[in-house]
Amino acid sequence: MRWAVAHAVADAVVHEGTACRAPTRYALVGRMVPWLRMGVAAVVLSTSGCASGRVATTTAGSPRAGSPTAARLNAVPPAAALPSTAAARLNAVPPAAALPSTVAARPSVTVANTTLDAFAQPLPGLSADERRAFFVGNAFFNDPWVTAPSSTAGRDGLGPTFNATSCAGCHFKDGRGAPPTDDDPDRVGLLVRLSVVDDVGASVPHPDYGDQLQDHAILGVPPEGTFDIAWDEVDGRYGDGTAFTLLRPRFTFRDLAFGPLGDVAAMPAISPRTAPAVFGLGLLEAVPEADIVARADPDDRDGDGISGRPNRVPDARTGAVVLGRFGWKDGRPTIEQQAAAAFLGDIGITSSLHPATNCPPAQAACRAAIDGGSPEVDDAKLARIVLYDQTLAVPAPRDVDDPAVVAGAALFAAARCDACHVPAMRSGPRSTVAVDALADQPFAPYTDVLLHDMGPGLADDRSEHDATGTEWRTAPLWGIGLIPTVNGHDRLLHDGRARGIAEAILWHGGEAEGAKERFRTMTRSERDALVAFVASR
Amino acid sequence: MTVRPSVAAPVAALACLAAIAAACGPAAAPPDAAAPSSAHTAPAAAAPPPAASADTTALRRAVVRTYADIAFASYTDALRTADALQDAIEAFVADPTDASLADAKSAWLAARDVYGQTEAFRFYGGPIDEPESGVEGLVNAWPLDEAYIDDVDGNPGAGIVNAVAEHPEITAGLLVDLNEVGGEKNIATGYHAIEFLLWGQDLSADGPGARPVTDYVVGVGPNADRRRKVLALEADLLTQHLRIVVDAWDPDELAGYRSGFVRDVDGSLAKVFTGLTELSGGELAGERMAVVYETQDQEDEHSCFSDNTHKDFIAGAQGMANIWRGRYGDVVGTGLDALVADVDPAAAADITAAVDAAVVAMGAIPPPFDQAVMGADDATGRMAVLAAMSSLEQLAARLRSAGAKLGVLGGGGA
């Protein structure tokens, strides 16, 4: 009986993925809307562009590695060899400086794996020792933490209050979390940040609940409370008259152990956050700060309606104010600091960066609970987990020669999605990165790592360092089409409100209003092509 | 375990291929039974000419069916030994004595030897660990949240057993509900929960846990009646959960997992290779050995209460050998060895050698494992553990490249 259910779920997922990636037919050329004709010279169903795409998916292990042919296949194609159309540009490996043909082939940062473990692969170029360290980190990422004291002393100290018992609890298979639903009410993967405004107008943690609602606790300690989500329907129409319905979440809180969150006059700011996928983070961390900042245009000097601002955040290790790169609002500067904050906030595990247990003064049982040592995750283990996060490979683009994907690439560029979802980045030199395999690598994250005003529809009205209540970091798009395979859902955006790529686009506002409108007014086959392209990254 | 000379493997595989071709030709309906055992014992002189790939489809189908047969047989044995464990536990809680406790421990150890061989059926979202419905987290979760179950050193009032006010009534539903706190089915049920309840915490440097039988004697051990109830319910839940997996692989359950598995031959071969490479390279060499080799946290091992971890490793390697050769118990079918030999006899021989080496290397770890990992890097135990890790990593690498050569495994490394 249980299997019947499981199969139904699996079938639905497969069907959805198929429908998304391989829509029926696209007769695009010749039916382009005027703005599209202006934006791109021609939609070329370019075989050379597709060939470049295949090069991008070539990974280590070729039996001919070392031969001149293999060297050419594994190497980044010289920029001059690439066709100049937008389609080819987007669908190919990010153009890099031409490499001399004598340079030995390097493994790419992508892996062609489309299974449940698509996001869980080590970078192909890791050494044997790095690979072993990767698996050590993987163990501490996946395995649950347990109540202290325990025989497994290196893994105890859970809570006392927590959202999940392991990193993988929310980042299942290194992938994406989603809000709980009626079908899966106990799903972890979304948490709620809280803050109140203090006497001098600063945004500070809630006095009784802290900066995040922990909805679980160890035996004998009360959970802080829980939340319910009601989904309000928001109707709209595409330019061709087709109706769509979006869902906007409304959060209510109950079972609050330490009194109401606030009164009507002074409710705390809340910001629901789903767990993002964690692969490719090492590459984003490895991009030189100057390269990211160079794309910022806070005053929109180029007049394209898109600004892009860096978040400037404190570095907990050095005290300096530096570029924020991680989190939904670029709130953390490094993977280590993101991971340490999540350890404390989400699992209740202390570290040298966050040595104090997360129990506000009102929470007596929490404060009295036995801890798992000081700190609970030591620096050596934290370093392994960080290395693991740094060296998770990126899924190779899929279906790159599908005509819809090729057409969608042109539409993506023409609609100016790529103004923020930047397809070409490059990591810094060896001296700036953790492992060889991360150095000097071209990669295609489809993010600029900058903050953008996304309009009132998505606003959480909660600031985070320099990020305002309407700003969000451009979400990377790589691997997005594999989320249904890996995580069994298609929920996107910070609070998981969007059911699939099209809805996520339709929620764009603010600086992205123009791009959203260009998408909304496309023909159905154009929209499907653009979505197919995004899903193929 | 007999170590076959590696040169024999391709010969046997080719002979096997001929037999499959005869049995599973396209005209005949494919029989569900595995290839006849005579295929593997055909004399070398009768080896046919080099295999043509015209029969590759039949060969692949036979391999997948054999794998499914072994899965069913392995889980059936796991359930049988878990039933025996449940019987022993019921006898123990009805009359807790040193003798009945020893019987229950023996039954647990016997059950683990069998269950460990099923771990090669994990890691691809099959019946045991399908993300939504899989029972792996209920059966074999680790690490165990001891303090969620019973008192521990440093917190005598801990656990469901002692939470009289919070949970006055102990039921199976309560254990399952509590097991899912935090959204993960990994807290407090399965083999290791039973292990903890039988052995107790391992507080000694050189022996297993030594829980006194009086913990279960009403009027002597605190909350002994509740501890009995929890242990009996845990044993019952274990058999219930294993039955779900047995049913999924049962060839007579037409709507079960198996029927789809044997139909989707190439997809299933990908799963077979994924399971093996993940178990050897990722799980055994990585998570279970490299971690504790590095941290030297003595109890950072899977069967830490009973000091039985070395047997978990042996069983894991044996499970991979079963699948590689297509043999387990009464099942004598077509193994992966034949499939790989069809495209690359030398690679098949290499993997056979690597599988055998892994089984030997696991057996060479001096028990108990929590002692073997301690000391300096040149200590006998640590060298044996490192050698075992290397043998598993080598096996994983060879299986990965074979899977890629067969076109069933994409890139990737875990």
pLDDT digits (tens, 9 = 90+) for B116-174: 999 999 999 999 999 888 999 889 988 899 999 999 999 999 999 999 998 999 998 88
- How many other CB atoms are found less than 10 A from the CB of residue B33? 14
Residue B410 pLDDT class (50, 70, 90 cuts)? low
Nearest CA to A172 out of A529, A492, A515, A485 is that of A485
Tens-digit pLDDT profile for residues B49-90 = 344 455 889 999 999 999 999 999 999 999 999 999 999 999
CB contact (8 A) between residue B255 and residue A4? yes
d(CA B160, CA B157): 9
Tell me what pLDDT residue A29 has: 33
List strands edge to edge, sheet with A190-197: A203-204, A190-197, A269-274
CA A241 to chain centroid, in Å, comes to 32
Report whether pLDDT(A79) > 60. Answer: no
Look at residue A68 in the predicted model and tell me its pLDDT. Answer: 41
Q: Find the mean pLDDT for residues B297-311.
A: 90
Residue with the bigger pLDDT between B42 and A479: it is A479
- Report the residue of B75, B128, B133, B195 to disrupt the A interface, i.e. the one with the largest count of A CBs within 10 Å: B133
**How far is CA A398 from its chain centroid?**
18
The predicted pLDDT at position A264 comes to: 62
- A20-34, A147-161, A304-318 — which is least confidently predicted? A20-34
The residue type at B44: A
* Spatial distance between the Cα atoms of A110 and A301, rounded to a whole number of angstroms: 35
Q: Does B144 touch chain A (CB under 8 A)?
A: yes
Task: Name the residue type at position B336.
Answer: L
Chain B partners within 8 Å of A140 (Cβ): 291
* Phi then psi dihedrals of residue A464, to 5 deg: -145, 105
Asked if the Cβ–Cβ distance from B132 to A488 is below 8 Å, we say yes
* Cα B385 to Cα B284: distance, rounded to the nearest angstrom: 11
State percent of chain B over pLDDT 70. 84
Tell me the one-letter amino acid at A47.
T
* Confidence (pLDDT) at A327: 97
Question: Do residues A218 and A145 touch, judged by C-beta distance below 8 A?
Answer: no
| Amino acid, single-letter form, for residue A424 | A
- Residue B186 confidence (pLDDT): 53
Say if the Cβ atoms of A115 and B127 lie within 8 Å: no
B187 inside 8 A of chain A by CB: yes
What does the alpha-carbon distance between residue B35 and residue B53 come to, in Å, rounded to a whole number? 18
Inter-axis angle of helices A379-390 and A128-142, nearest 10:
110
- Whether residue A133 has pLDDT greater than 50: yes
State residue B177's pLDDT score: 77
Spell out the alpha helix ranges (H) of A44-93: 47-57, 68-74, 86-91
Distance (Å) of CA A381 to CA A356, B46, B281, B294: 18, 57, 20, 10
Positions of E strands within A101-167: 110-111, 161-162
Task: Give CA–CA dist A207/A360, Å, rounded.
Answer: 7
Could you tell me the two tokens for A346? 């989400």
Give the three-class secondary structure for B202.
coil
Backbone angles phi, psi at B18, to 5 degrees: -60, -40
**pLDDT surpasses 50 at A80:** no
Contact check, Cβ <8 Å, A186/B183: yes
pLDDT score recorded for residue A417: 98
- Quote the pLDDT of residue A183: 82
The pLDDT of residue A102 is above 50: no
- Where in chain A are the domains? 2-128+397-459+474-535, 136-290+327-390
| B21 domain residue, yes or no | no
Cα A21 to Cα A24, A272, A397, A409: the distances in Å are 10, 29, 12, 13
Answer whether residue A101 shows pLDDT above 50.
no
Please state, in angstroms and rounded to a whole number, the distance separating the CA atoms of residues B108 and B102.
Answer: 10
pLDDT value at position B54? Answer: 55
C-alpha distances in angstroms, B407 versus B40, B60, B400?
A: 25, 12, 11
Contact flag A169-B183 (C-beta cutoff 8 Å): yes
Rounded Cα distance, B274 and B285, in Å:
15
Given an 8 Å threshold on Cβ–Cβ distance, is B411 in contact with A61?
Answer: yes
Interface check for B261 against chain A (CB to CB < 8 A): the answer is no
User: For chain A, give me the number of helices (H) and strands (E)?
Assistant: 17, 17
Q: In terms of DSSP bridges, do strands A203-204 and A243-254 run parallel, antiparallel, or are they unpaired?
A: unpaired
Instruction: Find chain B residues with C-beta within 8 A of A188's C-beta.
Output: 182-184
Q: What is the pLDDT of residue B131?
A: 82
pLDDT band at A121 (very low <50, low <70, confident <90, very high): very high
> Is the distance from CB of A212 to CB of A163 less than 8 angstroms?
yes
Q: In which band, very low, low, confident or very high, does the pLDDT at A91 lie, cut at 50, 70 and 90?
A: low
Asked if residue B19 belongs to a domain, the reply is: no
**Domain-embedded: residue B53:** no
Tens of pLDDT, residues B249-274:
999 999 999 999 999 999 999 999 99
Q: What is the CATH number of the domain that holds B108?
A: 1.20.1420.20
B25 falls within a domain: no
- Residue B36 host element (H or E): none
In this predicted model, what pLDDT tens digit does every residue of B357-404 receive, in sequence order? 999 999 999 999 989 999 999 999 999 999 999 999 999 999 999 999
- Tell me the average pLDDT of chain A: 84
Q: What angle do CA A360, A365, A366 make, to 5 degrees?
A: 45
State the Cα–Cα distance between residues B139 and B112, nearest whole angstrom.
11
d(CA A85, CA A444): 17
- Burial environment of residue A476 by CB neighbours within 10 A (0 to 12, 13 to 18, 19 or more): buried
The confidence score (pLDDT) of residue A188 equals: 85
Q: Which of residues B144 and B27 earns the better pLDDT score?
A: B144
Handedness of CA A63, A67, A72, A75 (dihedral sign): positive
CB neighbours of A25 closer than 8 A, spacing ≥ 6?
A: A525
For A235-282, write each residue's pLDDT tens digit: 999 999 999 999 999 999 999 999 999 876 677 899 999 999 999 999
Contact residues, chain B, for A394 at CB < 8 Å: none
Q: How many Å apart are CA A200 and CA A202, to the nearest integer?
A: 6
Residue pointed to by tokens 């539409």: A411
Write out the residue range of the structural domain in which residue B307 sits.
58-405
| 3-state SS class at A3 | helix
Question: Any residues with CB less than 8 A from the CB of B357 and at least 6 apart, and which?
Answer: B391, B394, B395
* CA distance linking residue A394 with residue A59, whole number of Å: 11
Task: Give the least confident one: A34-43, A131-140, A347-356, B381-390.
Answer: A34-43
Q: How confident is the model at residue A77 (pLDDT cuts 50, 70, 90)?
A: very low
Q: Report pTM.
A: 0.81
Of A180-184, A308-312, B196-200, where does mean pLDDT reach its minimum?
Answer: A180-184
* CB-based contact B213:B96 (threshold 8 Å): yes
Q: Is residue B63 part of a domain?
A: yes
Residue A537: how many other CB atoms lie within 10 Å: 27
Within a domain: B241: yes
Query: How much is the ipTM here?
Result: 0.80
Number of domains in chain B: 1
Cβ contact (<8 Å) for B291 and A136? yes
- pLDDT digits over B224-251, tens only? 999 999 999 999 999 999 999 999 999 9
Using a 10 angstrom Cβ sphere, with 0-12 exposed, 13-18 middle and 19 or more buried, the burial of residue B166 is: exposed
- Predicted confidence (pLDDT) at residue A30 exceeds the cutoff of 70: no
Mean pLDDT of B321-339: 98
Segment A401-429 shows an average pLDDT of 97
Cross-chain Cβ contact B297/A153 below 8 Å? yes
Q: Residue A446: pLDDT above 50?
A: yes
Task: Check pLDDT > 70 for residue A43.
Answer: no
Chain B CB contacts of A141 under 8 Å are none
DSSP three-state, residue B287: helix
How high is the pLDDT of residue A203? Answer: 82
Judging contacts by C-beta atoms under 8 Å, the chain A residues touching residue B184 are 144, 164-166, 169, 188
Touching check for B244 and chain A: CB below 8 Å? yes
Interchain contact, B131 vs A121, CB within 8 Å: no
Task: State the SS3 of B293-314.
Answer: HHHCCCCCCCCCCCCCHHHHHH
